[in-house]
Amino acid sequence: MRLPPSSETGSTSGAGSDRRDEARLNLAISRVLVGGLTLAVALLLGGIFMILAGRDATSGGVASIGDMPRAIAALDPSGFFYLGLLVLLLTPVGRVMALAVALARRRAWLFCSLSVFVLAVLGLSAYLGLGG
Asked whether residue 80 carries a pLDDT value surpassing 80, the answer given is: yes
Res 13: pLDDT: 52
Q: What is the pLDDT of residues 96-113, one digit of tens each?
A: 998 898 889 888 899 999
Q: How far apart are CA 123 and CA 41, in angstroms?
A: 24
Asked whether residue 17 carries a pLDDT value surpassing 70, the answer given is: yes
CB 9 within 8 A of CB 53: no
CB 102 within 8 A of CB 2: no
With a CB cutoff of 8 Å and minimum separation 6, the contacts of 67 are: 60, 61, 79
Stretch 78-92: mean pLDDT: 91
The pTM for the full model equals 0.72
Please state the domain extents for the chain: 19-129
